[in-house]
Structure 1
Amino acid sequence: MTINAIVKLVAFIVVHSCCTKSTTTSSDSGSAQQLSHFNVDSAPDKMSTPDFDQYLGSYIADGERIALILDYDGTLAEITAHPNLTQMTPQMKSTLQNIANSGKAFVAVISGRDVYGVKEKIGIENIVYSGNHGLEVLYPDGTKHNQGIPKEIADNFTKMIDQLTKELAKDGAWVEDKKVSLTFHYRQVDAKLVPELEVRAKQIIESYGYRANQAHAAVEGKPPIKWNKGLAAEYILTDSFDTNWRQRKVIFAGDDTTDEDVMQAIKGSGRSFRVSKDPQVVTHADFRIPSVEAVYQLLKWLEKKVTK
């Protein structure tokens, strides 16, 4: 077998057929789930074009209706030093727009950004946007769903923002105010300062009754309610297709630990992709793809399917 063929075979590894190790983690909803490592012998990011026919060809027929749910940062767009600099490539946007306009695809984006911020970044009108990890849902007709937050918790939000800003927003660190949640960013901070910053940021967030979650070079402060991206995905799908949404062909792609809740939610009925270059990434996803470029290849494959 040629090296090329071997690389293609290991580009996507199905969790159930190749797990080698498991560990336990707790999701935002408080439940512990078993995760599995992928066993990948070669780096799939060295492969030019993933073989989506092999892994999705029998799941999605030509012209079949699909529900496509996506993360934004690290999935549709490369992560940058500052969130304001992040943007999709024109090719990615055009392909996503074509899928949304096909008449055979329901498209939703669930992001950690605030809902209007992610809509502004993507700029496609006829899709559903969900912000703050699912706490806000904005529909194409302008209607909006807000997940309820206890008043006594919400009242602490401004105080929490103020203390984080006054005490920790320095040396390249800054606080992103997302109205119902926040992100304390330290991507540009000297590595020697990071451990102390992380600890203190989490202390401040938790002192105001919010939940502190680790993210990519950041700490997120979320209201302590039983809600996450997975529950948001189920809410959006049920609201759009009733309880029989599992009969739809559902595809999800995301790159972060917060996206694992969506992967769990559609497990067994949909197909999910974890975007990661790490061959030992721990995930609930059905497949691993290595990059934003691979997500683009996935969307191009789906575009052909829904426009036939």
Structure 2
Amino acid sequence: MTDPSDSLSLAEHGAAPRDLPPPAPLRLNARTALFLDFDGTLVEIADHPDAVFVPDTLGETIHALARALEGRLALVSGRAIDALEAMLGPLEVAIAGSHGGEFRPAGAREAEALAEPLPAHVLERLSSFARANGDMLVEPKPHSVAVHYRRHPGALTGLLACAEEIARSEGIAMKHGKQVVELVMPGSDKGSAVRAFMQRPEFQGTSPFFVGDDVTDEDAFEAVGSLEGAGVLVGPLRATAAHWRLPDVDAVHAWLDAALNPSAASKGI
């Protein structure tokens, strides 16, 4: 298995990290737990969060994987749970939304909060900056707030400075993802969500995989690595704690489909 610290140490010394191998075929057995990011992993990132294309079959694929794993699957997304279900329909699988701030085991209808709600004045401070600098898209969530700057790249320096100052003064975290800057409450991170799921009976004794694309997934990559599992980075190579890499969303779907249909995959269908 590739040591993720090799990639990180090379990047810190100015050298390009070496490429990561593709993951082995996914085995849906009693030793496997699977955690999946959403944007950039199961669907392509779009200019607007509401503009992503969601395949009609995606919801059923997620449920099929959960059934095959006897519940040892969870979606772990930066989106709120309500936003995920608006795109995928009602979900019976385990979900962590808002970067882990919302935690909902499989079959439950109410989410447990792993973080405090975002204070209203934090939302207003960041929203005021966004309005004054091109009216950037602001995405409020229960435990965080995201500002998407894809259409306003020139505002990034000021946005980062504003978000960093708010984060320092409020004692909260700032995350800089793909064309988005987000302020999140303590405890609202994907690594904490993975660890919380792994303490549940259905996940115990398994080797967890986390599949994600963004720097906001690094907490989860580190978590699964410490739990005798592995992270799968989706997209271009970068410094990461992941062990393996898939080039794009299509490759993720092919990897998952092959696990659900191993006989077809072995015949090259």
Question: TM-score scaled to structure 1, two decimals?
Answer: 0.73
Q: Distance in 2 between matches of 1:241 and 1:293?
A: 29
Instruction: Give the residue type in structure 2 aligned to 1:229.
Output: K
Q: Distance in 2 between matches of 1:122 and 1:240?
A: 26
**Secondary structure in 2 aligned to 1:188?**
coil
Q: Is the Cα contact below 8 Å between 2:115 and 2:187 reproduced in 1?
A: no
How far off is 1:183 after superposition?
Answer: 0.6
* 1:210 paired to 2:176: no
Deviations 1:110-153 (A, max 9, x none): 1111222123223252201111111111232214211243xxxx
Name the CA shift for 1:194/1:148 in 2 (closer, same or farther; >3 Å). Answer: closer
Aligned to 2:196: 235
Instruction: Give the residue type in structure 2 aligned to 1:185.
Output: H
Of 149, 155, 159, the residue aligned with 1:193 is 155
Of 264, 269, 293, the residue aligned with 2:228 is 269
Aligned to 1:285: 242
* 1:96 paired to 2:62: yes
Name the CA shift for 1:116/1:64 in 2 (closer, same or farther; >3 Å). Answer: same
Q: Is the Cα contact below 8 Å between 1:68 and 1:105 reproduced in 2?
A: no
Instruction: Give the residue type in structure 2 aligned to 1:144.
Output: A
Aligned to 2:181: 219
- Which residues in structure 2 correspond to 1:36-51 (within 5 Å)? 38-40=17-19
The alignment of Structure 1 onto Structure 2 pairs a total of residues equal to 260
Aligned to 2:74: 108
How far off is 1:21 after superposition?
Answer: 6.3
How far off is 1:159 after superposition?
Answer: 1.3
* 1:259 paired to 2:217: yes
How far off is 1:64 after superposition?
Answer: 4.6
Aligned to 2:103: 137
Q: Is the Cα contact below 8 Å between 1:66 and 1:106 reproduced in 2?
A: yes
Aligned to 1:171: 134
Deviations 1:29-86 (A, max 9, x none): xxxxxxx964239xx9xxxxx7x6xx247xx3x7556321111111111111111112
Deviations 1:187-232 (A, max 9, x none): 111x333222322233234434432221211211112x25521121
Instruction: Give the residue type in structure 1 aligned to 2:245.
Output: R
Q: Distance in 2 between matches of 1:37 and 1:93?
A: 37
Instruction: Give the residue type in structure 2 aligned to 1:198.
Output: L
Q: Is the Cα contact below 8 Å between 2:102 and 2:113 reproduced in 1?
A: yes
How far off is 1:23 after superposition?
Answer: 5.6
Q: Distance in 2 between matches of 1:199 and 1:17?
A: 30
Q: Is the Cα contact below 8 Å between 2:25 and 2:258 reproduced in 1?
A: no
Question: TM-score scaled to structure 2, two decimals?
Answer: 0.82
Name the CA shift for 1:38/1:205 in 2 (closer, same or farther; >3 Å). Answer: closer
Name the CA shift for 1:148/1:272 in 2 (closer, same or farther; >3 Å). Answer: closer
Q: Distance in 2 between matches of 1:136 and 1:18?
A: 30
* 1:157 paired to 2:119: yes
Name the CA shift for 1:65/1:303 in 2 (closer, same or farther; >3 Å). Answer: farther
Deviates more, 1:75-84 or 1:122-131: 122-131
Aligned to 1:184: 147
Aligned to 2:91: 125
Instruction: Give the residue type in structure 2 aligned to 1:272.
Output: G
Name the CA shift for 1:18/1:220 in 2 (closer, same or farther; >3 Å). Answer: closer
Cα root mean square deviation, aligned: 3.2
Of 70, 73, 77, the residue aligned with 2:39 is 73
Q: Is the Cα contact below 8 Å between 1:260 and 1:284 reproduced in 2?
A: yes
Q: Distance in 1 between matches of 2:2 and 2:45?
A: 26
Instruction: Give the residue type in structure 1 aligned to 2:2.
Output: V
Q: Distance in 2 between matches of 1:171 and 1:20?
A: 37
Q: Distance in 1 between matches of 2:112 and 2:102?
A: 6
Aligned to 1:22: 9
**Secondary structure in 1 aligned to 2:259?**
helix
**Which one has the largest radius of gyration?**
1
Q: Distance in 1 between matches of 2:255 and 2:87?
A: 20
